[in-house]
Amino acid sequence: MKIRPGLGAAAAFSAVLLAAGCEGSQPTPRSAHSATVQVRQEWVGGGLYVEGSYSYVRVERDGTTVTEVRLSNERVPRATIHLEPGTYRLVSFQRPCDGNCSRLDPPTDRCSHEIEATADARVDATVRLSPGDGCTIDAGA
């Protein structure tokens, strides 16, 4: 079998391009000095959303959304968020189901709280939700 000159070089070049392309799709590692925000939600009275709801938290900095996540569907809804050090506003809200949870009503029962994320620290935030009456957030390092 005879190999044409240059074919091996072309294959090697293609492999390098493929590897470089795959590397760009890897998740970005979090900073070694980021803060961890642990959010949990407690129901503290009031009614329930008749058709159910999804719970969300949004993190804002200087009026701009940094991230928005839906809390887990566990008995105690939770989320973990990694942030670079700084001052943020943590916003909680509900999206009640409209007929079923494939359609959601606009956000309701909003509340917010300023948090300070310091390097390598953990902030525990508890959202206390009373459907129809709003919520409060307690947060501390």
Residue 104 lies in a domain: yes
Q: What tens digit of pLDDT does each residue of 11-42 get?
A: 443 443 334 444 333 333 455 689 999 999 99
pTM of the complete model beyond 0.85: no
d(CA 82, CA 91): 15
Longest pairwise C-alpha distance within the chain: 81
Contact of 123 with 138, CB cutoff 8 Å: no
Q: How would you write the pLDDT of the chain (141 residues) with one tens digit per residue?
A: 444 444 444 444 344 333 444 433 333 345 568 999 999 999 998 788 889 999 999 999 999 999 999 999 999 999 999 999 999 999 999 999 998 889 999 999 999 999 999 999 999 999 999 998 999 999 975
Residue 5 lies in a domain: no
Contact of 34 with 59, CB cutoff 8 Å: no
Q: What is the domain range of residue 94? A: 35-140
CATH number for the domain spanning 47: value is 2.60.40.10
User: How many structural domains does the chain have?
Assistant: 1
Residue 19 φ then ψ, to 5°: -65, -40
Residue 14 lies in a domain: no
Residue 30 lies in a domain: no
Residue 122 lies in a domain: yes
Residue 80 lies in a domain: yes
Residue 112 lies in a domain: yes
